[in-house]
Homo-oligomer: A and B are copies of this chain.
């Protein structure tokens, strides 16, 4: 399937700088924390509890995906997004874990 409409980097091409830039926005970090359960989630605003427009949310999806943090599957007319947990853990051990820890989640809740 050439010309994938939702390109994402190979596991080996995930760069630390891209990840950290993607995580520079609090909303995106919250999204990662929500996705940390390993499940595929709906791509709507309610799923992440962020008070933003859907176009903005879509922009964040793109940023996370292109940084290598997430992957997307298309099911009919709805998309589902998930964290690339295993590949991220292999590439940068402990990084995601530290962002989804108790203290990290608590800190963002008090934002």
User: Which A residues fall within an 8 A CB radius of B?
Assistant: 15-17, 20-21, 23-24, 26, 29, 91-95, 97-99, 101, 103-104, 107-108, 111
State the CA gap A21–B21 with chains docked (Å): 8
A contact face: mostly helix, strand, loop, or mixed: helix
State the CA gap A111–B91 with chains docked (Å): 15
Q: A23 → chain B, closest Cβ, in Å?
A: 5
Do residues A24 and B21 form an inter-chain contact, with CB atoms below 8 A? yes
**Nearest CB in chain B to that of A90: its residue:** B103
Do residues B95 and A98 form an inter-chain contact, with CB atoms below 8 A? yes
Residue from the list B21, B94, B107, B111 in contact with A94, Cβ < 8 A = B94
Residue from the list B15, B26, B29, B97 in contact with A107, Cβ < 8 A = B15
Q: Which 5 A-B pairs have the closest CB atoms?
A: A24-B24, A94-B98, A95-B98, A16-B107, A17-B26
